Amino acid sequence: MLAALIAVSCLLALPVANAQTSAPAKATNVVLVHGAWADGSSWAEVIPRLQAAGLKVTAVQNPLSSLDDSVAATRRALALQDGPTVLAAHSWGGTVISEVGTDPKVSALVYVAARAPDAAEDFVALSAKFPAGAVRAGIQTNDGYTLLAEDAFLKFFANGVEPTKAKTLYAVQGSTASSLFAGRTTQAAWKTKPSYYAVSRQDQTINADLERFLAKRMNATTIELDAGHLSLVSHPREVAELILRAAGRAK
């Protein structure tokens, strides 16, 4: 009876969103994948924190021309890593690491306000089950590629980011193929690799409840940040700490 009570108490003590119990493998490398309307500099506040912890860090310059092109760019970066590697992605970049993350070098996956599709899933249809983000009204299309209008970028994509930084990020935003979001993966690495998720409560690009759904579906170790979509810029310490946990460098 006592043993049963202890077991129940232990179950009740577990954090609801933190379902993973096994310690992650200790990684030596981190490969960072940015999302749509961004470039590798979006990780600039996170990178030095990871480097200070002794990790080799590579930020992929994602072409955003197609899912295949972006997957190929991340595979090239991963091929250069020596030893266990954490793949971390922001936003649409989560589609890329869901495809690439089955590579034997990958020890864990980190999703930061990111997509996390199942294999062959119509993610556009899944997203439509949740309220659309306000940023959508600011999408401008020209010759098959999209950019965010400045007002939408600053108010809805970079909400919560210091204004000077937000304007810099607007200036370097990656031109994104309009067909990119319909691309479908062939596999879902989060089904076989330890996964971590940072939900952005104030996200106006990807609905926060969709993020929670994805985190729960992948049984991810999850944190929630009082941040907009660019939490990796506005809350780099917390994002870096989550990546370090995934790399077996922090509790």
- CATH number of the domain encompassing residue 159: 3.40.50.1820
Q: Is 99 inside a domain boundary? A: yes
Q: Is 238 inside a domain boundary? A: yes
pLDDT at 14: 31
Distances (CA, A) of 241 to 8, 77, 132, 251: 30, 22, 29, 9
Q: Is 19 inside a domain boundary? A: no
Q: Is 9 inside a domain boundary? A: no
The residue range of the domain holding 101 is 27-246
Q: What is the pLDDT of residues 203-237, one digit of tens each?
A: 999 999 999 999 999 999 999 999 999 999 999 99
Structural domain tally of the chain? 1
Q: What would the mean pLDDT of 132-142 be, rounded to a whole number?
A: 95
Q: Is 123 inside a domain boundary? A: yes
Q: Is 146 inside a domain boundary? A: yes
Name the token pair of 8.
Answer: 């129940």
- Of 217, 224, 213, whose CA–CA distance to 190 is shortest? 217
Q: pTM here? A: 0.90
- Residue 240 pLDDT > 70, yes or no? yes
Q: Is 135 inside a domain boundary? A: yes
DSSP 155: I
Q: Is 12 inside a domain boundary? A: no
